[in-house]
Amino acid sequence: MKIIATVKASEFLERSYTIECGNGNQFIHWIATTACMQFGQEHYPPGIYIPTLLMKKDEDKTVPHPR
C-alpha cells in the first residue's frame, strides 16, 4: 500500500512524498513522521522536522485520530 503525504512547511513551501506502508497496518503518526524525515533530508538546511498538525485532504479538512 502506498500513501501520498504532503508536508507543508509554510504557505510557499509544500512537498509531497509517496510513503510505502507495506500491508497498511502503520499508524498515521508513523506516516507523518516518515514524510517529515524525508522532507528534512532533502530540504536546506537539513534538519529534524516534527509533524504538528495532520489533516485529511477532503472538503472538511478533518483531523483524524493518530491511530
The Cα–Cα gap between 3 and 43 comes to: 21
Q: Answer whether 31's CB lies under 8 Å from 20's CB.
A: no
37: enclosing H helix or E strand: helix 28-42
Rounded to two decimals, the pTM is 0.77
Whether omega for the bond prior to residue 51 falls within 30 degrees of 0, making it cis, is no
pLDDT tens column, 30-57 = 888 899 999 988 888 878 888 887 777 7
Q: Is the pLDDT reported for residue 61 higher than 80?
A: no
Domain boundaries, the chain: 1-67
Show the cell assigned to 17: 512524498
Place of cell 500500500: 1
Tens of pLDDT, residues 4-29: 998 988 889 999 999 998 888 888 88
